[in-house]
């Protein structure tokens, strides 16, 4: 092995006993690699990679993505293993000099386990909302089911007295079919909400809010809570629709709970939009009296809840922030206003 391959030989014991993987690169070629990274990649010895191009195992993302870990900013990329598997990692690069030569030392941390746990937490959050979602479906279906039942009763009565004519029957069956189609559409609105992997689609934030409003409308009306949507024309973006629905549902349900807990008169939730060249925003403001200033800065922390243990896990708003921050989708902020609280959801356009 040549001199270049033996750089940092005095540090071998150190780098080979670190948790993170370490890669030493000169002009794009691998010059040293530690045991941890070999294990992650599935190679038996470093000679299989020495003097190979680093791009053979490091896959940059199409856009630079960064993640905060232990209060430091790391770049998120992927590794390709010997078997061809893709592994999500974060890296930190340091420029070092040795014997008048410049090298790059790349520190690599495997995110596979963290990514799986993140998926699990999001999944658990969605499942914990299932009871409330089923309640929403029940509200959506109650009125059409009642109407269909009444129509069937009318058909039976007409039939019993031999006055069931074709025109009446065609009309009432058409009406029943319309109600059934409405109920089917309701299921379509809800059915993808619990999928584990979210797919992106070209859609506007307005459309996402309208879909969410349809899901909640009957429940909120039954509790005399008005949702006012101040529409504004927005550009379509490639967005994870279901995850954004989850965020808006979470915020609206939090407002509903606060309104009911405080017995607010004339309860109102107002939703508005804005956009500029860099971002689009959704503003959700209620008149539920706001959040205690001593705790408002903590509401995005995991397992922190303003509700009692029976009514809240404390994961809802944490999941909202997590969804927005991953993949640099956007961010979420909260502030108290005169009559209540204002949530601002920011979506990056680029």
Q: What is the pLDDT of residues 302-350, one digit of tens each?
A: 655 555 444 444 456 877 887 888 768 899 999 999 899 999 999 998 7
At residue 63, the pLDDT reads: 55
pLDDT band for position 20 (50/70/90)? confident
Lowest mean pLDDT among 34-38, 52-56, 69-73, 83-87: 69-73
Q: Which residues lie closer than 8 Å to 141 by C-beta, 6 or more apart?
A: 183, 186
Q: Residue 248 corresponds to which tokens in the numbers above?
A: 């808006």
List % helix, strand, coil for the chain (3-state, nearest 5).
45, 25, 30
Task: Give me the mean pLDDT over the 37-53 stretch.
Answer: 87
Exposed, middle or buried: residue 13 (CB in 10 Å: 0-12, 13-18, 19+)? exposed
Q: Residue 284 corresponds to which tokens in the numbers above?
A: 């959700």
At how many degrees (to 10) do helices 166-191 and 205-222 cross?
110
pTM attached to this predicted model:
0.54
């Amino acid at each position: 092995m040549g001199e270049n391959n033996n750089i940092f030989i005095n540090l071998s014991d150190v780098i080979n006993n670190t948790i993170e993987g370490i890669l030493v690169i000169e002009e794009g070629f691998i010059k040293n690699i530690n045991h941890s990274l070999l294990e992650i990649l599935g190679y038996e010895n470093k000679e299989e990679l020495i003097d190979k191009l680093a791009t053979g195992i490091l896959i940059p993302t199409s856009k630079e993505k960064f993640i905060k870990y232990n209060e430091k900013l790391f770049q998120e990329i992927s590794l390709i293993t010997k078997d061809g598997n893709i592994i999500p990692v974060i890296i930190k690069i340091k420029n070092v000099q040795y014997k008048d030569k410049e090298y790059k030392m790349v520190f690599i941390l495997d995110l596979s386990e963290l990514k799986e746990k993140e998926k699990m937490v999001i999944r658990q959050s969605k499942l914990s909302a299932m009871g409330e979602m089923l309640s929403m479906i029940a509200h959506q279906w109650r009125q059409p089911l009642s109407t269909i039942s009444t129509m069937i009763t009318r058909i039976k009565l007409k039939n019993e007295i031999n006055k069931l004519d074709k025109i009446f029957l065609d009309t009432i069956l058409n009406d029943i079919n319309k109600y059934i189609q409405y109920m089917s559409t309701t299921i379509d609105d809800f059915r993808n909400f619990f999928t584990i992997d979210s797919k992106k689609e070209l859609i506007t934030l307005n459309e996402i809010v309208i879909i969410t409003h349809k899901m909640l409308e009957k429940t909120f009306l039954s509790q005399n809570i008005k949702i006012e949507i101040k529409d504004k024309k927005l550009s379509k973006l490639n967005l994870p629709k279901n995850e954004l629905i989850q965020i808006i549902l979470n915020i609206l349900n939090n407002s509903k709970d606060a309104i009911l807990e405080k017995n607010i008169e004339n309860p109102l939730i107002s939703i508005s939009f804005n956009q500029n060249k860099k971002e689009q925003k959704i503003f959700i403001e209620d008149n539920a009296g706001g959040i205690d200033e001593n705790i408002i800065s903590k509401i995005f922390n995991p397992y922190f809840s303003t509700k009692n243990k029976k009514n809240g896990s404390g994961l809802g708003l944490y999941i909202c922030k997590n969804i927005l921050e991953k993949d640099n989708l956007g961010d979420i902020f909260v502030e108290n206003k005169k009559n209540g609280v204002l949530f601002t959801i920011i979506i990056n356009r680029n």
